[in-house]
Amino acid sequence: MFWLLFLALVVLFVASLYIGAQRSRQVAGPSTQVLHSRPSYHGGYLAIMTVLPALGVLILWSIAQGPIMDMMVLGQFAEDVAAMSLPAQEAFLRDARALAFGGIVSFPDELKEAAAEIYANMRTISLIAMVVVMVALVVFGFRSAYANILPQQRTRHFVERAVMLLLIACSVVAVITTVGIVLSLIFESLRFFTMIPIHNFLFGLHWSPQSAFAGAGEVVDANPEVFGAIPLIVGTLFITFIAMLVAGPVGLFAAIYLSDYASKPVRAIAKPVLEVLAGIPTVVYGFFAALIVAPFIRNTGEGFGLDVSSESALAAGVVMGIMIIPFVSSLSDDVISAVPQSLRDGSLALGSTKSETIRRVVLPAALPGIVSAMILAISRAIGETMIVVMAAGLAANLTINPLEAVTTVTVQIVTLLVGDQEFDSAKTLAAFALGLFLFCVTLTLNFIALRVVQKYREQYD
């Protein structure tokens, strides 16, 4: 229904564009020169005045109608509902809605059917009311705007202001997204921290939320002992560390070689190679890690008589490092290339070799940029999900042996949220607490990287 009405409004919009333009030509008489604004602006004016208010009503009404109906149904069945627990209430409403509007009903009963009837009635009433309001707004808007199409009417200003508002609204979407992320993470995390004390989460050494509950579904007091995030954080940092051991030197040296040594043909091959590495989806890296690298490390290790987990931190770390190589190299390449040629000339003219020039003049000058590139790479590695989901372990071992399995924050978020969820169990909410942690860490790293570069700009520009 929503889309049908929306489509109707679109048709109305196009029609009013045309009618408005025609009307302005009509009032202008033989020459459109007398118009302050071109006919198309009059059309735009008419279209906006006709459709916009109704569109607003349509959207707001559609969003608000669900919760309001739920509230009214709950009000109707207050005494029946009072006995129910919160999940049971939700199930009651869900089933009643499904009965009324179609969908999969788990356990129909009489109460739910009664509620369903109310739902169906309310929806019909609500629909009729909404359409009436919309039609009224359309008619009113159209009539008043139509009468207002006059030669001296500054409709261009109106239309341009409207477009400007639209542009502003679009740029605010990014802010809304951030606010949405922050609010949803904080909101769910707060719910989590009411069940599990925050210090248990941040400083606990034991993580096994799967064992947190006696039985499935039943809300039991969660055992705060099993929500210690330290093993995850250590595991994440450890894999990131291994990844940076690979990506840091390789990426940096590749950037140096490409910017200062490589001949044109070499660059013509090497740059696309790095770009392709950067463009490969992470799930492919994960597959590669699980299929090739992990068994290889395991077999090699066993050849030396070592116990190697098939989900070793080393395998995940190395492959993540490969993934980050192009990230490091392209950022470093940018900052190394940005070091002015005059500094290189000055050093070469003193009789230094190329490597001396790079090590002692270019790199120190580019250092802040390189540091920020590395920080961004670390932030990227911390937030990376698929490689670790596919190649790192699930068990939260607190270890720094690269041959053992460790788990990471992102792996646990995926594990906790994939599959069926109860949206008020500590297990599910723990994922949001981990998400909040992840968000804060990457944001901080990003912020530091930005500050480092800014400081560097102030100093040498």
Partner 1 sequence: MSTTTTVAKDDTAAVAVTSAAKAMASDVAPGGTTITDAAPANVKMKGKNVDVFYGEKQALFDINLDIGDRQVTALIGPSGCGKSTFLRCLNRMNDTIDIARIEGDITLGSQDIYDPSIDVVELRARVGMIFQKPNPFPKSIFENIAYGPRIHGLADTKADLEEIVITSLQKAGLFEEVKDRLDAPGTGLSGGQQQRLCIARAIATSPEVLLMDEPCSALDPIATAKVEELIDELRENFTVVIVTHSMQQAARVSQRTAFFHLGILVEVGATDTIFTNPSDSRTQDYITGRFG
Partner 2 sequence: MTDIATTPPAGANPGIDAGSALHTSDAARRRLKARYAAEARFKFFGIAAVVTAGFFLVLLMSTIVGQALPAFISHQVTIPVELTQETLDPNNEGESALRRANYDAILRDGIRSLYPFATSRDDQRTVSGLISTGSAVRLREAVLADPEGMMGQTSFTVPVDDVADLYFKDQVSDERRLETTGIASPTGTEGEIQVLSTANDFRDILADVKEFLGEQAESVQRELSAKERSIERAQLDLESFQTRLPNVEESRRAFFEEQIEILERGLVSLDRDITNLTEELADLRQRSQTAGAEEVLSTQLPSIFVEINGGVVKATRISATGIAGEVFLPLASTADAAAGDWSIREIVLPERNRKLDDRSLIYLDQLLDQDRVERTINTVFFTSGASREAELAGIWGAVVGSFFTMVVTLLLAFPLGVAAAIYLEEFAPKNKLTQLIEVNINNLAAVPSIVFGLLGLAVFLNVFGMPRSAPIVGGMVLALMTLPTIIIASRAALRAVPPSIREGALGVGASKLQTVLHHVLPLAMPGILTGTIIGMAQALGETAPLLMIGMVAFIVDVPTTPLDPATVMPVQIFMWADFPEALFRQKTSAAILVLLAFLIAMNALAVILRKRFERRW
- Site residues (CB under 8 A) for partner 1? 340, 342-353, 356, 360-361, 364-365, 459-460
Binding residues among 356-395 for partner 2 as defined by CB under 8 A: 356, 358-359, 376, 379-380, 382-386, 389-390
- Helix (H) / strand (E) element for 76: namely helix 39-76
Q: Does 351 bind partner 2 (CB under 8 A)?
A: yes
Q: Which residues contact 88 (CB under 8 A, 6 or more apart)?
A: none
Backbone phi, then psi, for 384, in 5-degree steps? Answer: -65, 135
Interaction between residue 36 and partner 2 (CB under 8 A): no
Our CB check for partner 1 shows the closer of 160 and 260 to be: 260
Alpha-carbon torsion (343, 349, 350, 356), positive or negative: positive
Q: Which does 365 bind (CB under 5 to 8 A by kind): partner 1, partner 2, none?
A: partner 1
Q: Binding residue for partner 2 (CB under 8 A) from 52, 219, 442, 448?
A: 442
Q: Label residue 102 left, alpha or beta by phi (over 0 means left) and psi (-120 to 50 means alpha).
A: left
User: Which of partner 1, partner 2, none sits in contact with 22, Cβ below 5 to 8 A by type?
Assistant: none
Binding residue for partner 2, selected from 209, 286, 368, 393, defined by CB under 8 A: 286
Which of partner 1, partner 2, none has residue 168 at its interface (CB below 5 to 8 Å by kind)? partner 2
User: Which span (109-117, 133-141, 250-258, 452-460) binds partner 2, by CB under 8 A?
Assistant: 250-258
CB 428, min distance to partner 1, A: 52
From the CA atom positions of the chain, what is the Rg in Å? Answer: 31
* Residue 352 beta carbon to partner 1: minimum distance, rounded to whole angstroms: 5
Nearest residue to 373 via CA among 232, 254, 279, 239: 254
Phi, psi of 218 (to 5 degrees): -70, 135
- Number of chain positions touching partner 2 (CB under 8 A): 94
Is residue 453 a contact partner of residue 369, using CB atoms and an 8 Å limit?
yes
Cβ of residue 390: shortest distance to partner 2, in angstroms?
Answer: 6
What is the DSSP secondary structure assignment for residue 227, as one 8-state letter? B
Our CB check for partner 2 shows the closer of 124 and 178 to be 178
Alpha helices by DSSP H, 196-229:
198-203
Q: Between 136 and 350, name the residue whose CB sits nearer to partner 1.
A: 350
Nearest to partner 2 of 54, 434 (CB atom): 434
Interface residues for partner 2 in 396-415 (CB under 8 A)? 410, 413-414
345 binds, among partner 1, partner 2, none (CB under 5 to 8 A by kind): partner 1
CB atoms within 10 A of CB 135: 11
Q: How many Å apart are CA 406 and CA 342, to the nearest integer?
A: 48
The nearer residue to partner 2, 142 or 432, going by C-beta atoms, is: 432
Report, in Å, the least distance between residue 345 CB and partner 1: 6
- List binders of partner 2 among 49-68 (CB under 8 A): 63, 66
Please, which residue, 355 or 421, has the CB nearer to partner 1?
Answer: 355
Query: Which does residue 344 touch among partner 1, partner 2, none (CB within 5 to 8 A, set by kind)?
Result: partner 1
CA 268 to chain centre: 34
Q: Cα angle at 359 between 321 and 247, to 5 degrees?
A: 0
Tell me the closest approach of the beta carbon of residue 124 to partner 2, in angstroms: 20
Q: Quick one: what does residue 10 bind among partner 1, partner 2, none, with the CB cut-off 5 to 8 Å set by partner type?
A: none
Could you give the CA distance from residue 460 to residue 302 in angstroms, rounded to a whole number?
52
The site partner of 177 among partner 2, partner 1, none (C-beta below 5 to 8 Å per kind) is partner 2
CA distances from 104 to 37, 71, 95, 99, 241 (A): 55, 22, 8, 8, 48
**Number of C-beta neighbours around residue 93 at 10 A:** 20
CB of 385 to partner 1, least distance (A): 39
- Dist CA 258 CA 267 (whole Å): 6
Q: Which is nearer to partner 1, 324 or 452 (CB)?
A: 452
